[in-house]
């Protein structure tokens, strides 16, 4: 019996397991390699856990696939790039432009308004002039590649 035991670990019970199913879906945005075809886009996946989306790999044209398949750009806050082959990362600049377009931000994130609630004249929908943060995770060299592409 763990009660009264001097071992602090003996009294701990395992964390409870949730009986509710996890709300998860995976959308294949592209399954072709090297170049897109009429029926397949290059590498890209979208993982939804709860209401938040994460993009895994971002080949050319991924932003179009996102708009065509029900992935919510305004609820996408993470991008993972597995490696720096073009068919896994050349779509990042276009996707970053799509994600920076505040018209895709859901109403719950902007207080239900499409006007500049912050009154700072920047026209943003977040109501306070704050910028939306999208975390991008990838291999060494990704930051330099993105800087070169976005500053060109």
Answer whether 0.85 is exceeded by the pTM. no
Average pLDDT over residues 90-116: 67
Q: What percent of the chain has pLDDT over 70?
A: 68
106 pLDDT more than 70 = no
What is the DSSP code string of 23-76?
-EEEEEEE-B-SS--SS--BSEEEEEETTEEEEEEE-TTHHHHHHHHT--GGGE
Query: Is residue 87 flagged as an active site residue?
Result: yes
Average pLDDT over residues 125-137: 69
Structural domains in the chain plus CATH codes: 24-108+129-151 (3.60.15.10)
pLDDT averaged over the chain? 79
Catalytic site residue from 57, 87, 124, 126: 87
Cα 87 from Cα 43, distance rounded (Å): 6
In the block, tokens 């026209």 appear at: 123
Check residues 90 and 123 and name the one with the higher pLDDT. Answer: 90
Per-residue confidence band for 115, with pLDDT thresholds at 50, 70 and 90: very low
Q: What percent of the chain has pLDDT over 90?
A: 47
- What pLDDT is recorded for position 38? 86
29 pLDDT more than 80 = yes
Per-residue confidence band for 18, with pLDDT thresholds at 50, 70 and 90: low
What is the DSSP code string of 103-132?
GGS-GGGTTT-SS-TT-SSS--SSSSSPPP
């Amino acid at each position: 019996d763990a009660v009264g035991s001097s071992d602090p670990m003996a009294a701990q019970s395992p964390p409870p397991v949730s009986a509710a199913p996890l709300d998860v879906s995976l959308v294949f945005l592209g399954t072709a390699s090297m170049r897109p075809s009429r029926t397949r886009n290059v590498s890209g996946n979208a993982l939804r856990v709860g209401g938040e989306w994460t993009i895994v790999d971002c080949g050319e044209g991924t932003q179009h696939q996102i708009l065509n398949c029900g992935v919510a750009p305004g609820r996408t806050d993470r991008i993972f790039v597995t490696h720096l082959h073009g068919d896994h990362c050349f779509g990042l600049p276009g996707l970053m432009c799509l994600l920076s377009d505040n018209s895709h931000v859901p109403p719950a994130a902007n207080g239900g308004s499409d006007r500049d609630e912050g009154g700072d004249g920047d026209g943003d929908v977040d109501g306070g002039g704050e910028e939306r943060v999208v975390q991008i995770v990838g291999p060494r060299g990704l930051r330099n590649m993105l800087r070169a592409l976005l500053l060109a």
